[in-house]
Amino acid sequence: MFRKVHLYLTALCAGITTAILIVMSLLYLYLSEKELYENQFRSFQNDIITISTSLEQQSVISMEWLSKMEARGGYTFYALDNGIPFLYNRLTSFSESSEIRSFLDACLEYYESHYESVSLEEGGDSPYNTCRHVEFSFHPAETEQEFYISVIELKRGTSSLQLLVLSPLDFLREQITKQRVRFFLIDIAAILLLSLFSFFFTGKLLQPVIESRRKQTEFVAAASHELRTPLAVILSAAECCRDADTEKQSRFLDTIKQEGDILTSLVNDMLTLSASDSQRFSFRPAPVELDTLVINTYEAFEPLAAEKKLSLTVTLPEESLPLCTADAERIIQLLSILLHNAVSYTPEGGRIDLSLLHKKNRFYLTVSDTGIGIPPEDRKKIFDRFYRAEKARSAKGHFGLGLSIASEIVKLHHGTLNVTGRPGGGSVFTVILHT
Ligand code: ADP
């Protein structure tokens, strides 16, 4: 399922970023090509101004001048004197083929149809009385080629000179094609990188969800497993109850009650952890006297310890302690879990010490016992849900949830909970809380 979601998220992320990239690239290309055309046209216009000014000042237009001007701008000139082509045209590359002729005709036709209204005025001092020039872009329908064209018209009395200046845009188009190809290749590389990035990025995003799903599945599996044993005992006791005599019946009913209590405590623990997971764990911090809470818990466990023939002691600082901001109910729950474990995992005749220490704005709550101890390799895992060290497996009514709840409580108080081995055997659990 997560594989599908991962692929879907990757496609979505890559799709959106690719779409943005393509739109931005197209926009950039459009603006840049527009600017290239405009710059080219402007420079063509400037050249034409220079050419027409120089033309105006000449009484005779020499072939040298024409070919020099052509070579300078990479242009092609076509001159008509009173409608008759210059000899220059016939001598240079501009041969009078029908193809070229029709191209020129189309050019002039376009010019006349668009710029007819502008008329040359009479007068002026130059050898040619009047001069005007018009620039436009021309794209003959049947060809791929595009040109900037200028028609310069000079008039002196009745004689007129028309000069067509053709600037092919092949170089510009080549430049634009190169730019497009470059962008295309860059975009393809960027899309590949973006897809890779999206794949890893969405994978990282999904990681906590996958992890929490895994934990949830494990939790449900472990919970079902733990619930099954007391339920099976209850069912079989109920079955046996049917045909048993009164004395046996009462024993079976006791078993049912006992297993029912175990089930209730397991379900309560599970509900506590689920409340903590969904941030519904009730937590009401207030200034509390930790020593009072420690004494109260100690007193509550005294009978249980005595029953198991364990010596339970409490150590408190002699000086008066500052108040600690904590949830009193949760602290008692935390100490109860630690003491309950200590009682459960310490054999008869053992010792349990409960102590409170205040040092450098920190409270140290310690529960140490001389019990079975926890192997170093298990010390990290015992805070995981449903985890029980091998040696503790036989303890009835222990499902491996107590320390998970304890560590959630400590987390809520922004404190720390750690476990160490006790020299000579046993375990030491230490809770550190801040004032
Ligand atoms: P449980 O209900 O099984 O005690 P906990 O989460 O409280 O669950 O403890 C997890 C495991 O940690 C226990 O099963 C046991 O193996 C180990 N443990 C906890 N406290 C002690 C202790 N005082 N002495 C030895 N082992 C302990």
Q: Kindly report the protein residue whose alpha carbon is nearest to atom 13 of ligand 1.
A: 388
CA of 292 relative to ligand 1 center, distance in Å: 26
The answer to whether residues 389 and 379 touch, using CB atoms and an 8 Å cutoff, is no
Measure the CA–CA gap between 136 and 45, rounded to whole angstroms. Answer: 9
Which residue lies with its CA nearest to atom 3 of ligand 1? 400
State how far the alpha carbon of 393 is from the alpha carbons of 249, 269, 344, 389, 400, in Å.
29, 18, 11, 7, 9
Q: Measure 388 CA to ligand 1 centroid, in angstroms.
A: 6
Ligand 1 pocket check for 293: Cβ under 6 Å? no
- Amino acid code (one letter) for 281: F
Each of the 435 residues of the chain gets a pLDDT tens digit; together they read 788 999 999 999 999 999 999 999 999 999 999 999 999 999 999 999 998 888 888 877 787 888 888 888 888 888 888 877 776 665 555 555 666 777 788 888 888 888 754 444 444 455 546 788 899 988 877 777 889 999 998 887 777 888 889 998 988 999 999 999 999 999 999 999 999 999 999 999 999 999 888 888 888 888 898 899 889 999 999 999 888 888 888 999 999 999 999 899 899 989 998 888 888 888 899 999 999 999 999 999 999 999 999 999 999 999 899 999 999 999 999 999 999 999 999 999 999 999 999 999 999 999 999 999 999 999 999 999 888 887 666 667 788 999 999 999 999 999 999 999 998 899 999 999 987
Atom of ligand 1 nearest to the CA of 397: 2
Q: Which residue puts its alpha carbon closest to atom 11 of ligand 1?
A: 388
The verdict on the CB of residue 388 being under 6 Å from ligand 1 is: yes
- In Å, how far from its chain's centre is CA 187? 21
Q: pLDDT, tens digit, for every residue of 121-138?
A: 444 455 546 788 899 988
Report the run of H or E that residue 430 belongs to, with start and end: strand 427-434
Pocket mutation for ligand 1, best pick of 382, 384, 391 (most atoms within 8 Å of C-beta):
382
Atom of ligand 1 lying closest to residue 389 CA = 16
For residue 406 and ligand 1, the question of a CB distance below 6 A is answered with no
Mutate to test the pocket of ligand 1, among 403, 429, 431 (most ligand atoms within 8 A of CB): 403
Of 345, 354, 366, 383, the one to substitute when testing ligand 1's pocket (max ligand atoms within 8 A of C-beta) is 345
Q: Which residues contact 412 (CB under 8 A, 6 or more apart)?
A: 281, 283, 327, 330
Strands (E), 271-310: 286-288
Which atom in ligand 1 lies closest to the alpha carbon of residue 404? 6
What CA–CA distance (Å, rounded) separates 401 from 185? 58
Spell out a b/e string for 333-362, using b for 16 or more CB atoms within 10 Å of the CB, else e. bbbebbbbbbbbbbeeebbbbbbbebeeee
Please name the residue whose Cα sits nearest to atom 23 of ligand 1: 342
Quote the ligand 1 centre to 341 CA distance (angstroms). Answer: 6
Going by alpha carbons, the residue nearest to atom 1 of ligand 1 is: 400
Q: Which of 301, 366, 380, 388 to mutate to test the pocket of ligand 1 (most atoms within 8 A of CB)?
A: 388
Summarised one tens digit per residue, pLDDT across range 157-195 is 777 888 889 998 988 999 999 999 999 999 999 999 999
Nearest Cα residue to 385 out of 269, 262, 265: 269
The answer to whether 237 and 269 are in contact (CB under 8 A) is: no
